[in-house]
Structure 1
Amino acid sequence: MKRNASAVWQGDLKSGKGVVSTQSGALKDSPYGFNTRFEDAPGTNPEELVGAAHAGCYAMAMSLALGEKGVTADRIDVKATVTLDEVDDGFAVTKVHLDVSASIPGISEPDFQEVAETTKTSCPISKLLSADITMDAKLA
């Protein structure tokens, strides 16, 4: 299975502008630029897109792991906070912190924590990232 997304950039770093699109059409010419990445202007940026991908992947992977334990979540909420830091050779995504809150009837706290930790490393996007991935997981 292969999926794709694309970006078009025009201009220099600070005043240039770009758009990103996804194969599915979920994003179609969504604007991004220096100001959306470093100055909180409206539009998207690569870090929030990675965060959305990681949060979505984690929620689905947790659902799979719960199913393997014979339970189904009523709801899994995941927020991925991606940190972009200036390092010696430029910028790098140095951390991803996952905040997980789930409502899962019939699971104990220890079993939930085990599933949460296993999912943190087994989700395909977690495997993709070389950044330090941390998490807080709460059973609601």
Structure 2
Amino acid sequence: MSIVKSGSAAYKPLGKEGKGSISTETGALSNQPYGFNTRFEDGKGTNPEELIGAAHASCFTMALSFALSDAGYDDGELNTTAKISLDKSDDGFEITKSALTLDAEVEGITEDEFEKIAQEAKENCPVSQLLNANITLEYKLNNS
């Protein structure tokens, strides 16, 4: 059985002069503006890379949270940022990297155990598996 979630986008007129909107089925985003100026300039609105960054950060953080809990660690806090790199190539543009930066506080865990669990979460979260990009992870572990 598949879990199916959806997002939608509209864009008109075509090309650089076009304007679009992005929405999610839950209403978390509702007609959020996007276009050339929000993707390649400093226009107000969102862009696909920002949304992929939020999706990757949230997916990885949840996967790590569940893995830590499964390993017996229930007291802590995780904060992750994903920086998505969009680079121009001979064929157009491509997403080449997602750089995860994690600030973690996990009560009682060793650095070695945390490293192992965090790397497994990075490799196995569904969004990491979806991305055809270099995925890196840097973290700071604060534990007692």
TM-score by length of 2: 0.95
In structure 2, which of residues 18, 23, 34 is the aligned counterpart of residue 21 of structure 1? 23
Which residue does the alignment assign to 1:127?
A: 129
**After the TM superposition, which segments of 4 or more aligned residues of structure 1 sit over 4 Å from their partners?**
none
In structure 1, which of residues 37, 41, 47 is the aligned counterpart of residue 39 of structure 2? 37
Is the 1:116–1:137 contact (alpha carbons within 8 Å) kept by the matching residues of 2?
no
For structure 1, which segment, 55-64 or 65-74, has the greater mean C-alpha deviation from structure 2 after superposition?
Answer: 65-74
Q: Tell me, in whole angstroms, the C-alpha distance in 1 between the residues paired with 2:101 and 2:48.
A: 20
**Residue 74 of structure 1: CA displacement?**
2.0
Q: CA RMSD in A?
A: 0.8
Q: Secondary structure at the match of 1:93?
A: strand
Is the 1:109–1:139 contact (alpha carbons within 8 Å) kept by the matching residues of 2?
yes
Q: Secondary structure at the match of 1:58?
A: helix
Please give the residue correspondences for 1:1-20 in structure 2 after superposition, counting only pairs within 5 Å.
1-20=3-22
**Residue 40 of structure 1: CA displacement?**
1.7
Question: What are the ranges of 5 or more consecutive residues in structure 2 without an aligned counterpart?
Answer: none
Give aligned pairs, total.
Answer: 140
Is the 1:66–1:73 contact (alpha carbons within 8 Å) kept by the matching residues of 2?
no
- CA 1:73/1:46 → structure 2, altered by over 3 Å: closer, same or farther? farther
Identical pairs, percent = 48
Question: What are the ranges of 5 or more consecutive residues in structure 1 without an aligned counterpart?
Answer: none
Which residue does the alignment assign to 2:108?
A: 106
TM-score by length of 1: 0.97
Q: Tell me, in whole angstroms, the C-alpha distance in 1 between the residues paired with 2:69 and 2:34.
A: 38
